[in-house]
Structure 1
C-alpha cells in the first residue's frame, strides 16, 4: 500500500486537534435534533459514534459535511494551529444495487472521479488511476466486477476507495458495518486501521456493533441529541449513561 500522508502526518501532532466541534446545535423546523454538542477529533485516531436510532448521528454527519445550518462552531486546524478548510471523505450507508445491474466497479469509479463517459471504454490511464485507488484498500481485483454482484464487505471497500480519492483529512463512515458478514467486518476494520495509520486521518464512524469498539476505536462518543459520554471504549461501555441508553446492565454486544 502506497503511503501518501498530509503535511501534518508524522509531524508530532500528538494530541493536536484536527477537528473541533463546539456547542453545536441543529434544528429542523420546530424540532431540535442536536443540542450543545462538543467534541474533538484527532489525527490518526478512529472515533466511534454510537447511540440509539434517532439520536442525531446522521444529522451530525450532514452538519460536518456542510449540508445543514447550525449554531456553534466547527473548526479544523492542522498541526501547529493553522486553520484550513478540511477535505472530507464520506462513505454513506451501503446503497442497494440491482443484482442485474451491468454497471461495473470501474464504471462507478469513472463516473465519480473522471469526466470520461461511462458508456465508452475507459482509456488505459483512467483504468490505471482507478486500479491505484482500489489498491489502497486491497480491492484492485474487483475492478471489473459488477456492482450488483459484490458482497457487503466488497462494496464497502469500493466505497472506501472512492472516499479516499483524493486522500482526505477527515473520513466519515455512516454505519459501515451494516449488512457486512463477520469476516467482511474484520477485513473492513483492519483496513480502516491501516488507512488511519498510513495517512494520519481522523476517522469518524457510526456503528451499532459494540463488540469491536475496544479493539479498533481510540475513542467513543455516546450521542443522544447531545454528547452523553465521551472517552475510551472501556470508559464509555462501562458507564451508567451507556447502560441507561441501551437498557443494559453489564452485557455488551450489538445494539
Structure 2
C-alpha cells in the first residue's frame, strides 16, 4: 500500500512539441455538489521546479492526490519523454508532508525499503544485492549512514530524506512534494533543497512542490502557480508575487531573496 502511493503510472497523452514535459489538462475535483477546484492546467518541463502556493483549503494537496489517481477527478495527465515521444506511462514519485507510523516500532530504514522494494515480508527478502541497492538510494539523498537507524529515531529532516530516497526508486519522471520541509530545521531544509537541485541537474526530473514559504519558492522555483479553487495566476516567481491577487492573499511582498539566501 505504501509503495503504491509512492509510485504511479499516469494516463496517456498527446504531443508536447517534442519537449520532455508533463501536461495537466483541465483537472477538477469535487465532492458531491461541492467543487473544490476546476479548470487546472499546468505544463511542467523536465528539470524544472513548479511551486504551488495558495491559502489553506485552496485544493493544493488534493491536486497532488488527483495527479496520483488517489481521488476521482476530471481532466487528463499527458507526458512526452525527452525524445519527444509520447510514452503514456510516466513514473511519478511522491513525498507526503507527514508519514504516520508508530514511532516505537522497531522497524529500521532498511526494513522499510526491503518491504517496499520487494513487496515481500522483511524476513523473506533480505539480501546483499538489495542492501547495496538501498545504500545507493540513500546515498543519493546524503543518508546512507541511516540505513540501519530505527525509523522512529529519525529527525524530521532525516525522515523526509528517507522518504525522498524511496520515492526516487525507480527514478520518476515527475516528483510530487507536499510541503516536504514543514517542521524541518534550517540545516535540514538547506540540505533538502541542495538535493533537489542536484536531482534536477543530473536526472532532469520535473518537480511539483507545495509550499507556504514564498521566499524559498522565489529562490528555488522556475514557475509558481497560485491556486484558490483553481489557478489564479501562473508565471515566474517575480510575476506571480507581484500579482495583486497574490498580495491580497499573502500580504505585500516587498522584496525577493538574493542569490545567497536560503
How far residue 55 of structure 1 moved from its aligned partner, in angstroms, is 0.5
Q: Name structure 2 gaps, 5 residues minimum.
A: 1-15, 257-262
Q: Residue 122 of structure 2: SS of its match in structure 1? A: coil
How far residue 224 of structure 1 moved from its aligned partner, in angstroms, is 0.8
Aligned residue in 2 for 1:210: 214
Distance 1:158 1:81 in 2: 32
Distance 1:214 1:115 in 2: 40
Distance 1:57 1:252 in 2: 25
User: Do the aligned partners of 2:60 and 2:227 also contact (CA within 8 Å) in 1?
Assistant: yes
Aligned residue in 1 for 2:204: 200
- Residue-by-residue CA offset, 1:10-58 (whole Å, 9 max, x unaligned): xxx9992511122222211111011111110001001111111111111
Aligned residue in 2 for 1:46: 49
Aligned residue in 2 for 1:126: 130
| Moved >4 Å (runs of 4+) | none
The 5 A counterparts of 1:1-255 are 16-83=19-86, 84-119=88-123, 122-246=126-250, 248-251=251-254
Distance 2:48 2:18 in 1: 10
User: Do the aligned partners of 2:18 and 2:85 also contact (CA within 8 Å) in 1?
Assistant: no
Distance 1:98 1:136 in 2: 26
- Greater Cα shift, 69-78 or 153-162: 69-78
- Residue-by-residue CA offset, 1:72-103 (whole Å, 9 max, x unaligned): 33211124542222110111112144442211
How far residue 213 of structure 1 moved from its aligned partner, in angstroms, is 1.2
Distance 2:149 2:126 in 1: 15
Distance 2:49 2:75 in 1: 23
User: Do the aligned partners of 1:93 and 1:176 also contact (CA within 8 Å) in 2?
Assistant: yes
The TM-score normalised by the length of structure 2 is 0.85
- Residue-by-residue CA offset, 1:164-195 (whole Å, 9 max, x unaligned): 00001000011101121111111101111111
The TM-score normalised by the length of structure 1 is 0.88
Q: Residue 22 of structure 1: SS of its match in structure 2? A: strand
Distance 1:15 1:180 in 2: 38
Distance 1:68 1:98 in 2: 26
Distance 1:85 1:123 in 2: 30
Distance 2:100 2:66 in 1: 24
